[in-house]
Structure 1
Amino acid sequence: MTQNNSLSGHWLIVSDLDGTLLDHYDYSHAAVDELLQQLEQRETPVILNSSKTFAEMLELRRELHNHHPFIVENGSAIFIPANYFPEKSGDAREQDGFWVIETGLPRAQLLEFLRADAEQFGTPYLSFAEASVDEIVEATGLAPERALAAQRRDYSEPLLWRGDEEEKQAFVARVRGAGMSTLQGGRFLHLLGSTDKGAATLRLLDCYRHCRDTEYRLIAAGDSPNDLDMLRVADIAVIIRAPHRPPPQLRARAGQRVMISEAVGPEGWREAIAQLFP
Structure 2
Amino acid sequence: MECKTFNALWLTDIDGTLIPSNNASPLVFSRISSFLKVLENYCVLTVPVTFKTRAELKELSRTLNYSFKAYVAEGGCSIIISQTLANPYQWKAGDGEEVITLCRNRSVLNVVFHSVDNTSCRDRYVRLTSLTPREASELLNASLKEAENAVKREFTEVVYSGSSECQQLIEKEAVSHGFKAFRTHRFLHLGEAGKEEAVKLLLNLIGYRVKGLTISSGDSPADAEFLRLAETSIIVSNSHTEWFRKYPYVKITNNIPHSLIDIISRHLLLKQPFE
Check whether TM > 0.5.
yes
User: Is 1:14–1:219's contact at 8 Å kept on the other side of the alignment?
Assistant: yes
Report matched runs for 1:236-255 at 5 Å. Answer: 236-242=232-238, 245-247=239-241, 249-252=243-246
**Cα deviation code 1:187-226 (max 9, x no counterpart):** 2111111x2112211211111124x3x5554211111221
Give the alignment's TM-score, normalised by structure 2. 0.85
> 1:88 deviation in Å?
5.6
Pairwise mapping of residues 167-186 of structure 1 onto structure 2 (< 5 A)?
167-186=166-185
Does the 8 A contact of 2:71 with 2:81 survive in 1?
A: yes
Q: Which amino acid aligns with 1:76?
A: C
Mapped partners of 2:166, 2:253: distance in 1? 36
Secondary structure, in 3 states, of the residue corresponding to 1:237? Answer: strand
Cα distance, 1:67 vs. partner? Answer: 3.0
Aligned runs of 1:191-206 on 2, under 5 Å? 191-193=190-192, 195-206=193-204
For residue 146 of structure 1, what is the aligned residue in structure 2? Answer: 146
Distance in 1 (alpha carbons) for counterparts of 2:153 and 2:206: 27
State the distance in 2 between where 1:35 and 1:83 align.
21
Distance in 2 (CA, whole Å) between partners of 1:103 and 1:95 is: 20
Q: By how many angstroms is 1:134 displaced?
A: 2.1
Measured at CA, do residues 95 and 79 of structure 1 come closer, stay the same or move farther in structure 2, by a change above 3 Å? farther
Alignment of 1:146-165 (within 5 A): 146-163=146-163, 165=164
Aligned sequence identity (%):
24
1:13 match: 10
RMSD: 2.3
Q: Secondary structure of 1:109's partner? A: helix
Kindly state the Cα deviation for residue 179 of structure 1 after the two structures are TM-superposed.
0.8
Q: Is 2:91 the partner of 1:97?
A: no
TM-aligned CA deviation for residue 238 of structure 1:
0.7
Task: Specify the code of the residue in structure 1 equivalent to 2:258.
Answer: E
Q: What is the DSSP-based 3-state SS (H/G/I as helix, E as strand, rest coil) of the residue aligned with 1:264?
A: coil
- Structure 1 residue 76 displacement after superposition: 0.9
Q: Secondary structure at the match of 1:71?
A: strand
User: In 2 relative to 1, CA 249–116 (structure 1 residues): closer, same or farther, beyond 3 Å?
Assistant: closer
Shift of 1:169: 2.2
Q: How does 1:1-278 map to 2 (within 5 A)?
A: 10-28=7-25, 29-64=29-64, 65-87=66-88, 89=90, 94=93, 96-110=95-109, 112-121=110-119, 122-163=122-163, 165-193=164-192, 195-210=193-208, 212=209, 214-215=210-211, 217-242=213-238, 245-247=239-241, 249-252=243-246, 257-277=248-268, 278=270
Rounded Cα–Cα distance in structure 1 between residues aligned with 2:204 and 2:112? 34
Change (3 A) 1:208 1:157: same
Any idea what the Cα deviations from partners look like across 1:71-97, whole Å, max 9, x if unmatched? 1011111001134223365xx874743
Distance in 2, Cα, partners of 1:207 & 1:178 = 30
Distance 1:146 1:209, change over 3 A: same
Aligned residue identity for 2:187: F
- Measured at CA, do residues 132 and 216 of structure 1 come closer, stay the same or move farther in structure 2, by a change above 3 Å? same
Q: How many residues are treated as equivalent by the alignment? A: 258
1:123 shift after superposition: 4.3
How much has 1:31 moved relative to structure 2?
3.8
Residues 50 and 74, structure 1, Cα contact 8 Å, conserved in 2 = yes
State TM-score, norm by structure 1. 0.84
Q: SS of 1:263's equivalent?
A: coil
Structure 1 distance, partners of 2:12, 2:170, is: 29
**Distance between the aligned counterparts of 2:37 and 2:267, measured in 1?**
15
Q: Secondary structure at the match of 1:182?
A: strand
**Structure 2 alignment gaps of length 5 or more:** 1-5, 271-275
